[in-house]
Structure 1
Amino acid sequence: MDVHYNITYLILGGHVQLSKYRYFYFSITFLLFNLIICSNTVVLYVIYVHESLHKPMYIFVAALLINALFGSITVYPKLLVDLLSETQTISRPACWLQSFLIYLYASCEFTLLSAMAFDRYVSICRPLQYHSLVRTQTVKLILVLAFSLPTCKLGIGTILSANLGLCKFVLTRITCDNYSLVKASCGDSTVINAYGLSVMVLSIIPHLIFIVFSYTKILIICLRSSRNFRRGALHTCLPHLVIFLNFTIITMFEVIQNRIPSGIPHIVRLIVSLLYVVIPPLFNPLIYGFKMQEISKCLNMFIWNVDSCF
């Protein structure tokens, strides 16, 4: 017979030797958080103030950077507080909320990357139809769907999971996630696990297939075109492709290490569990800022103007 406890607070017990390295962890985390905020905000500001960047491709880049800020703000402030606290606790509703927001960030990331692949596919493979297919209204609709569809899918799963009674109050992680919360529950979680698995598959596989299809078509077109055309396509597609592969690999590692029992050391699991809010938010603005010519040109102008003020 299952025993349900009236648990209102949970302990995040995944920290490693926190009492010994507390201030070192805090310093590194604080530095990363500030770098992420500053780098993403600067590129967003550059896109906002330059009308030449008010195009679908750069609007999708801006949405991706906003999503990175959203994911970082979901994790880092609570993590910084925990690193300086004697006890790493979180209320049960706050834990479910953080879990929902983290999954929402990851799901929106894949959706936005698919939208960017669609933009590149139409631009390169159907250039004459680009302005009729990728209009302002189309971009707005894609952005609304990119955030609303994952919200609905994940919201249903979170509501179903939150109704389960909890039998454990210690999570072996430093952030909340739905899978760990369901594992800590007492009741039958078969339906919820099945729903969660289906949502995860639908959040990754269709986007993966579409992006592979898009870039296969782009590659075929590039092989048939001139060297200058290939160079231009490479400048706009390579940053997106690098970011997509980067986020996909990180997500797959996190899913595998979290769900498949193995002898992976806890410290490795801990590092892997944070990569999705370290590498993409930190490197996306750098890749787009320096590898996309239009953004790089405007960013250099911004940096030059800032330097001239001192």
Structure 2
Amino acid sequence: MKLLVLGGTRFLSRETAVQAVARGWDVTCACRGESGPVPEGATHLRWDRSDDPPDAILDGSWDAVVDVTRLPSQARTAVAAVPDAHWVFVSTISVYPDNSSADTATLATPITEDVDLAVDPDAYGGMKVACEQAVQERAATSVIARPGLIVGPGDPTGRFAYWPQRLARGGEVLAPGTPADLVQVIDVRDLAAWLLDLAESRTTGTFDAVGRPVPFGDLLAEVGAGVGAEPELTWVDQDFLEEHEVAPWAGEGSLPLWLPRPEYDGMLAHDPGPAEAAGLRLRPLVETAPDCLDSPVVALTSEQEAELLAAWHAR
């Protein structure tokens, strides 16, 4: 199997290349190489995707391509250079504009121009729709995988890793929202393995590449079991968190995975059934959690959490 990975140095694209090499495939990672080295056993083909494709891309006779780009110009250029391969394009559930439900019938309006997300973060979903369309219209065969929150070793965001690390520290833990709020994550290793299966089988179609939706309370219990902790959880309601300007989802001062309800009831509640029927295999979170103890985390600090808990108990 001759595989072209567009990227290969960070998180999902790197894990995909690592596993492809382990399968004995001929793997080339086309990228600038500025985020780190490509995996051992893979070939590094230098390509800044703002430039024209090098001859080695055009003449590669690739069996399959895995691409994770969010920029429509990059998707159009790449698929025009390698139209005969089977394309595995990694999109996102952000292509669905209504986060209040798990509806997959409506897509965001395509944004065909490249937009700086630092200027307009809301353009992400529309650009991914345009990337999907470029692949579907120009590749000989293709499959679209739309992940939700990808977690596991190598995650640069810390959106999930906060919880294994926080529960491992012990003590009273501030838990956001309600124990019944649905959340879902997918381990990067499971997603990468499935992408390679899709490439090898030349599967076509569009799938939500997500883990199983679980109540937040169950997720924290499983994460705690994975790191050998029995969490002492204090559930703090949404109104209190918003009143105290706790950020949702990710970033400084945030409680990761927490999302305002009901505006985001559907974002972490998509159906993994079709993907599982197409071969996606999901490991339990008890196995994912301990592998996230060394990941970087930017979220609520211990001091901020203690202040919030004190305010909650004194209200």
Q: Same fold (TM over 0.5)?
A: no
From the two aligned structures, give the one with the greater helix fraction: 1
Give the TM-score, by structure 1 length.
0.29
Give the TM-score, by structure 2 length.
0.29
From the two aligned structures, give the one with the greater strand fraction: 2
Flag the structure with more relative contact order, 1 or 2, with Cα contacts below 8 A and sequence separation at least 6: 1
